[in-house]
């Protein structure tokens, strides 16, 4: 089964001293017989409102023992802190497929919000597909509203969507995806959102909800991967959002999507994958 790792910029520098490129080495909990695959997504962001929300996470160099992780900004964007969640697919995880899709309307204004993704190999039946962001570039002058979803899933592929609404101006965004057999045991995935807790016009910083694993059996407390898939945040203050889980047992977990200080979080969401290894 996969392995969960994370890279937190605060392990390199304090929030009050932002770097344009924060780099760190994440060591895997074991040495693999071959290089793993590293789908990954952002689960926490704390960024200045005074520049575009321009941030990406990358893992370009990695071995059987470690990954060289970066969370990078560009132009005058300032990232005070961020966390990249890594869903490490071991050489034995051959049933999983993964990839990335980028939408770049700043380069091509006709770049559509949806695209068809074909699996490398067809599944026996429509698989579970999980999507989340690892690259965002949103204009600072308008609200930050963006979401990614997977629809029209069949054995051969699915439609991935990267959508904005309102007056949001999207320069570029990239979504990562993970697909796995729908009958795979000891793994559960879902999408969570603050809209399940309260409407957008009722502002609050902290949101949480306890969910069950819908009959999926775990023999011990599972590891849980979390990455952002939905933002609706006012541009009038810094962008601060943190998606995480606690209270994890073999039957349920408690998810959180929080903001803090003067951030106005209209809504936020994330993808979750719980698994035993």
Q: What is the CATH number of the domain that holds 231?
A: 2.60.40.2080
Whether pLDDT at 206 is above 90: yes
Cα–chain center distance at 98:
13
pLDDT of residue 60: 86
172 and 189 in a single domain? The answer is no
Asked if 168 and 190 sit in the same domain, the reply is no
User: What integer pLDDT is reported at residue 64 of this predicted model?
Assistant: 97
| One domain, residues 124 and 178 | yes
Average of per-residue pLDDT values in the chain? 97
Asked if 218 and 174 sit in the same domain, the reply is: no
* Residues 2, 71 within the same domain: yes
| Same-domain status, 155 and 201 | no
pLDDT over 70, % of the chain:
100
The arithmetic mean of pLDDT across residues 101-127, rounded, is: 96
- Tell which of 59, 93, 127 closes a domain: 93
Sign of CA dihedral 231, 232, 233, 234: positive
Please report which confidence band the pLDDT of residue 201 belongs to, taking 50, 70 and 90 as the band edges: confident
Q: Which of 153, 168, 184 is the last residue of a domain?
A: 184
What are the φ/ψ torsions at residue 120 (nearest 5 degrees)?
A: -60, -40
Task: Give Cα 157 to chain centroid, integer Å.
Answer: 20
Same domain, 113 and 178: yes
Cα separations in angstroms, 62 against 6, 26, 32, 218? 14, 9, 12, 30
- Residue 244 pLDDT level (bands cut at 50, 70, 90): very high
259, pLDDT greater than 90: yes
Q: Are residues 8 and 34 in the same domain?
A: yes
One domain for residues 122 and 195: no
Judge if 152 and 230 occupy the same domain.
no
Domain end residue (candidates: 184, 215, 236): 184
- Give the burial string for 125-152 (b: 16+ CB within 10 Å, else e): ebbbbbbbbbbbbbbbeebbbbbbbbee
Q: Is pLDDT of 35 > 90?
A: yes
Average pLDDT rounded to a whole number, residues 63-70: 98
- CA 180 to chain CA centroid, Å, is 17
Residues 199 and 277 in one domain: yes
| pLDDT of 203 over the 90 cut | no
Q: Rounded to whole angstroms, how far apart are CA atoms 180 and 123?
A: 8
Q: How many domains does the chain have?
A: 3
Do residues 68 and 102 both lie within one domain?
no
| Domain that residue 26 falls in | 1-93
β-sheet bridge partners, residue 116: 159
State the pLDDT confidence band at 22, using cuts at 50, 70 and 90. very high
pLDDT value at 59 more than 90: yes
pLDDT, position 134? 98
Residue 231 CA to residue 212 CA, distance in Å, equals 24
């Amino acid at each position: 089964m996969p392995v969960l790792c994370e890279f937190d910029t605060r392990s390199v520098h304090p929030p009050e001293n932002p770097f344009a490129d924060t780099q760190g080495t994440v060591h895997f909990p074991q040495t693999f017989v071959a290089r793993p695959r590293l789908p990954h997504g952002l689960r926490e962001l704390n960024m200045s409102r005074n520049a575009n929300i321009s941030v990406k996470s990358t893992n370009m160099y990695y071995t059987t023992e470690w990954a060289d992780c970066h969370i990078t900004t560009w132009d005058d964007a300032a990232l005070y802190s961020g966390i990249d969640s890594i869903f490490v697919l071991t050489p034995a995880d051959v049933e999983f497929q993964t990839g990335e899709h980028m939408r770049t309307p700043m380069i091509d204004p006709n770049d559509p919000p949806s695209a068809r993704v074909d699996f490398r190999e067809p599944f026996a039946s429509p698989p579970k597909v999980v999507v989340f962001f690892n690259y965002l570039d949103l204009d600072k002058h308008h609200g930050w509203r963006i979401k990614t979803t997977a629809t029209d899933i069949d054995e051969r592929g699915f439609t991935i969507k990267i959508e904005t609404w309102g007056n949001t101006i999207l320069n570029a965004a990239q979504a990562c995806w993970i697909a796995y057999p729908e009958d795979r045991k000891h793994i559960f995935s879902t999408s969570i959102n603050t809209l399940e807790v309260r409407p957008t016009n009722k502002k609050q910083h902290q949101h949480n909800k306890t969910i069950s694993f819908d009959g999926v059996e775990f023999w011990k407390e599972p590891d849980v991967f979390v990455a952002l898939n939905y933002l609706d945040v006012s541009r009038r203050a810094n962008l601060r959002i943190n998606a995480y889980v606690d209270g994890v047992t073999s039957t349920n977990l408690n998810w959180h999507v929080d903001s803090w200080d003067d951030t106005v979080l209209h809504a936020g969401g994330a993808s979750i994958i719980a698994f035993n290894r």
